Amino acid sequence: MLKQPPQPSSDPRVQEDMEAVVALERDAQLMLRVREGDDTSFALLLERHRGPVVHFLYRMVQNQAVSEELAQEVFLRVYRSRETYEPTAKFTTWLFRIATHVALNSIRDRKKEKGHESLDEEMLDGLERQVADRQPSVEQEMVHEVKLREVRQAIEALPAKQRAAVLMHKYEGLDYTQIAGVLSCSESAIKSLLFRAYESLRDRLAHMA
Amino acid sequence: MICLSKHEQGADLLAGYLAKTLDAPRMAELARHIQGCSDCRGLASVWERLDEFAVPEVSPGFDARLYARIAAEDARRPWWYRLVWPPIAPAIAIAVAALILFVQVPAGPDATKQVNKTEIEQVAQAVDDLDLLIPLENR
């Protein structure tokens, strides 16, 4: 008797997991092709991960020019590493490990250079206008900008490692295992780190609730 | 009662609740608790607050700048670098191995002869040395 083929699960979480597995294999396969000299595969990887990497770095350093410069460094390192690449970890974990390393170095260097100087207000204002692509009233726009500024400041006030963990967890959809892989910590350490970070954010953003 | 701040699995539960990955009974239980607990309500609302942090679009010239940097870096590499780059490295390795075999094979018999000759000379020298060590009265 023929065995019944497995039916696709209707559970969206299972489907998401399956899609993630397929995506993982595709990324690793693409990177292996890059290792063999296929530049088209590098272009595909860039297309898939450019946005998440730039956005993660933007939220880490809160400066568009710097975040794009750092993202260039990340993809340059990926390209340079193609010859020695082995798919021992998820591609995304590897990629975000590079991105986090680059971001933490940049934050450390900026602190050294400028003594934790505040962000360029003019640049921030410009970016806030850029991301607000709706056509709200002046009052709505002002309220939105104030909220945005407070969120940015709350995130910026987190210790760099907590900040990276929250950004990967909240915005990039990395799970505990991946974040632990990126930050070279145990999963339990990451859970505790995230909890402390969310508690800090709650305290800082309590007045916005 | 599940209070995120007091529960030993609070971080797990919070993250699961915020990401909506807990099972339905747990989600419902937490949602009920959060209604009456300001600490937990604050934690849960963090997720929504963070949604305010939008990001700008990536600049249109991003890829072009990256490829220009890659090209510049490739141009700075020495000419021999391509010879050791993995896609053609196996071919180079085979060619080198073939060259070594080609050089070694004709030299094979002569080399064996040389080794044999050296061994005979060493044995003869050892016998001479033994002769010198044996006292004359024992001869």
SS (H, E, C) chain B: CCCCCCCCCHHHHHHHHHCCCCCHHHHHHHHHHHHHCHHHHHHHHHHHHHCCCCCCCCCCCHHHHHHHHHHHHHHHCCHHHHHHCCCCHHHHHHHHHHHHHHHHHHHHHHHHHHHHHHHHHHHHHHHHHHHHHCCHHHC
Q: What is the mean pLDDT of chain A?
A: 82
User: What's the whole-number mean pLDDT along residues A14-23?
Assistant: 59
Minimal Cβ distance to B42: which of A64, A166, A206: A206
A144 and A98 in one domain? no
Question: What does the pLDDT read at residue A79?
Answer: 94
Looking at the domain assignment, is residue A9 inside a domain?
no
Tens-digit pLDDT profile for residues B43-94? 888 878 888 888 999 999 999 999 999 999 888 877 766 666 655 666 666 7
Q: How far is CA B138 from CA B125, B127, B133, in A?
A: 21, 16, 11
In angstroms, the CA A202 to CA B37 distance is 13
Q: How far is CA A25 from CA A30, A77, A91, A130, A163, in A?
A: 8, 21, 9, 36, 28
Give B70's contacts in chain A (Cβ within 8 Å): 76, 79
A156 and A98 in one domain? no
Q: How many structural domains is chain A composed of? A: 2
Residue A143: phi, psi to the nearest 5?
Answer: -60, -45
Interface ipTM: 0.74
pLDDT above 70 for A115: no
The CATH code of the domain that includes A207 is 1.10.10.10
A196 and A151 in one domain? yes
A150 and A182 in one domain? yes
Give B82's contacts in chain A (Cβ within 8 Å): none
Looking at the domain assignment, is residue A133 inside a domain?
no
Confidence of residue A4 (pLDDT cuts 50, 70, 90): very low
Q: Do B45 and A209 meet the contact criterion of CB atoms below 8 Å apart?
A: yes
Cα of first residue to Cα of last residue in chain B, in angstroms, is 106
Residue A34, burial from CB neighbour count under 10 angstroms (0-12, 13-18, 19+)? buried
Give A35's contacts in chain B (Cβ within 8 Å): 86
In angstroms, the CA B77 to CA B81 distance is 6
Looking at the domain assignment, is residue A6 inside a domain?
no
A28 and A109 in one domain? yes
A143 and A109 in one domain? no
Q: Do B22 and B30 meet the contact criterion of CB atoms below 8 Å apart?
A: yes
User: What's the whole-number mean pLDDT along residues A148-155?
Assistant: 91
User: What's the whole-number mean pLDDT along residues A3-23?
Assistant: 54
Which domain covers residue A86, as residue numbers? 23-115
Q: What is the mean pLDDT of chain B?
A: 74
Question: What does the pLDDT read at residue A56?
Answer: 97
Widest CA span of chain B, in angstroms?
Answer: 114
A91 and A173 in one domain? no
Contact B43 A202 (CB under 8 A): yes
Which two tokens mark B114? Answer: 């040389």
Tens-digit pLDDT profile for residues A152-195? 999 999 999 999 999 999 899 888 889 999 999 998 899 889 88
Looking at the domain assignment, is residue A161 inside a domain?
yes
Mutate to test the interface with A, among B55, B62, B63, B83 (most CBs of A within 10 A): B55
A144 and A106 in one domain? no
A149 and A88 in one domain? no
Looking at the domain assignment, is residue A49 inside a domain?
yes
Looking at the domain assignment, is residue A145 inside a domain?
yes
pLDDT above 50 for A123: no
Higher pLDDT pick, B68 / B7: B68
A54 and A102 in one domain? yes
Going by the DSSP 8-state scheme, the letter that residue A162 receives in this structure is: H
Question: What does the pLDDT read at residue A5?
Answer: 42
A92 and A29 in one domain? yes
pLDDT above 70 for A121: no
Percent with pLDDT over 70 in chain B: 57
In angstroms, the CA A187 to CA A167 distance is 16
- At A58 the three-state DSSP class reads helix
User: What's the whole-number mean pLDDT along residues A120-127?
Assistant: 48
Mutate to test the interface with A, among B8, B50, B76 (most CBs of A within 10 A): B50
- At A142 the three-state DSSP class reads helix
Question: What does the pLDDT read at residue A143?
Answer: 81
Looking at the domain assignment, is residue A190 inside a domain?
yes
The CATH code of the domain that includes A47 is 1.10.1740.10
Question: What does the pLDDT read at residue A200?
Answer: 92
Looking at the domain assignment, is residue A107 inside a domain?
yes
pLDDT above 80 for B125: no
A103 and A178 in one domain? no
